[in-house]
Amino acid sequence: MREKPNPILTLSYLNGDAARSAQMSVNGGASANLSFPSTGGWGTVGTLQAAVQLNAGSNTIKLSNATGWAPDFDRIQLVGSGGGTALLLDNFDSSPAWLGANDLGKWSSANSFVNQAGVIENGALKLQYNNNGWFGSDVTQSLTGYSKLIMRIKGAAGGEEGQFHLVLGGEEKTFGAFSGNTVTTTYKDIAIDLAASGVDRSSPGQLQMSFWHGSAGTVWIDEIRFE
């Protein structure tokens, strides 16, 4: 009988120095040493993957460095051995460089923001708007194998979900109307149920966001993916 592989932990981090390290333990077990190469700057995100063995139910994963400096951690993601694979539209890690292409290798751009086409700041796309601004990223492939759009986002003030519209698969609504969720001043994953929202998953076209709806503010988008 073939054993299932262990879940994979993906650590997104920033390290402007030479290689830094951290010790990882799971549920109080023995620590494993992880080495994090330089990402080339404190505004550039890198990733490191490690297999972990988990118990059923809740688990505790600890990262520490008692004798030196660990890198700055941007995000920690766990992909289970039996789960599906997410389709990454863009994680704004400057690979590929912003702007021009997304992580599907397709066209992506923005314009008319206070900060022009937006800027990459600590591994996220920063968009400053004052009743103007447009973002577009080509999907142009079937999403029938995916049920959710997930955007990892935060705002300068919180409550920005009603200040911009999202367009996908023939549907246009405010981000808040699509998700039923709120943008806060700290990053969180906000999910949109594609089928329930009326999105044509067989022909999604381009994901667009418009910010010319009478509001001013700032949002940071860390990642857009489909699951």
Mean pLDDT by 10 residues, the chain (227 residues): 56 89 91 89 84 78 92 81 72 90 95 98 97 97 91 97 98 97 94 95 97 98 94
Structural domain contains residue 1? no
- Give the 3-state DSSP-derived string for 162-218, with helices as H, strands as E and coil as C: HCCEEEECCEEEEHHHHHCCCCCCCCEEEEEECCCCCCCCCCCCEEEEECCCCCEEE
The whole model's pTM is what?
A: 0.68
* pLDDT tens sequence across 46-79: 888 787 787 767 789 999 999 999 999 988 887 6
- DSSP lists the bridge partners of residue 62 as 25
In a domain, 3, yes or no: no
H-state helical runs in 34-107? none
Residue 2 lies in a domain: no
Question: Is residue 96 reached through a cis peptide bond, with omega within 30 degrees of 0 on the bond before it?
Answer: yes
pLDDT attached to residue 1: 29
Q: What is the pLDDT of residue 152?
A: 95
Predicted local distance difference test score (pLDDT) of residue 79: 67
| Helix residue spans in the chain (DSSP H) | 175-179
Residues 64 and 93 in one domain: no
Alpha carbon distance 18, 12 (integer Å): 16
Domain that holds residue 52: 8-79
Q: Are 32 and 50 in contact (CB under 8 A)?
A: yes
Residue 49: give its domain's CATH number.
2.60.120.260
Residue type, 113: F
Last residue of a domain, one of 48, 79, 110: 79
Q: Tell me: do 156 and 54 sit in the same domain.
A: no
Q: Which of 44, 79, 114 is the last residue of a domain?
A: 79
Pick from 34, 16, 12, 17: nearest CA to 25:
34
Last residue of a domain, one of 60, 79, 98: 79
